[in-house]
Amino acid sequence: MEEIKVGIIGFDTSHVVAFTKLLSDRQDPNYVPGAKVVAGYPSFSPDLPSSANRVEQYKKELTEKWGVKLVGSIPELLEQVDAILLESVDGRRHLKEAEPVLKARKPVFIDKPLASSYSEAAAIIKMARQYSCPMFSSSSLRFDANIAAVCSDPELGQVSGCDAFSPASLDPTNPGLFWYGIHGVEILYTFMGTGCEKVITTKSDIYHLVVGSWSGGRIGTMRGTRAGSHSYGATVFGEKKFVQVTYSAQVPFYAQLLQKIIPFFRGEASPVPLEETEEIMAFMQAALVSEEEKREVGLSEVRK
């Protein structure tokens, strides 16, 4: 089977190095076959230190070690590849960078967060539907081996609640949970699915706690940590049993995510429906409004 030619947009996250290595290094025990990164557009955000300070290092490694060709624009990149990994660490860039990809109908994975606000995320999703372009966005934690095993466990039964947790460092450019708390929110939705109606947020310097009310009386929480020990996982309350799960350290997050991305690039359905991604973004926007206004906020409010 012919390898898919992949292009990368955004060279300002460690994901670009990890993905490129896993798709190129056949000696890596977690090598993912079927695609190869051949070109990239090395965009970055000059006003975001964690973006601007890393781009040169990653450009050097991708070009010198893995032979990735640099191009000067997204249209030029689209002419040379079959599919796109939109990896820009800054969600503020995603709408502008995704637009030419979606119009070209190139399958695209947009790394977390889909955008830095609900309104821009909704615009990306609307455009993907308008142009019938295959697109999905996800945190790699959703596909972690331990988390996926619990999610598919038939002995769990229907999930009535979930308390998810992850680190949740902050950056004003992508406020609230949009910066890093997305990981915990993805874990929460992996078990709860869609149907959240309202949220209320409590925030301090060392944590976020968002309590979401789902239809049918179900309750889900996301605790984001900024001090002490950090991990990723959840306590899941099932109909038949409850389970406490933390992520697996045995298989890299990124390999497990790529094992979903490559079949998607080959034409399989997105492993995360757009409807669920849209609700995740609405959940985080409502949580931000709740944090700022110190009140309960319905997801319907931020969707107007």
Other CB atoms within 10 Å distance of the CB of residue 67: 12
Contacts of 280 (CB under 8 A, 6+ apart): 114, 182, 185, 186, 189
Which single residue is written with the structure tokens 């557009």?
41
Q: Are 43 and 76 in contact (CB under 8 A)?
A: no
Digitized pLDDT (tens) for each residue of the chain, 304 residues in all: 789 999 999 999 999 999 999 999 999 999 999 999 999 999 999 999 999 999 999 999 999 999 999 999 999 999 999 999 999 999 999 999 999 999 999 999 999 989 999 999 999 999 999 999 999 999 999 999 999 999 999 999 999 999 999 999 999 999 999 999 999 999 999 999 999 999 999 999 999 999 999 999 999 999 999 999 999 999 999 999 999 999 987 778 899 999 999 999 999 999 999 999 999 999 999 999 999 999 999 999 999 8
Domains of the chain: 4-140+253-271 (3.40.50.720), 141-250+281-302 (3.30.360.10)
The token pair that represents 6 in the structure block: 């992949």
Rounded to an integer, what distance in angstroms lies between the CA atom of residue 95 and that of residue 125? Answer: 10
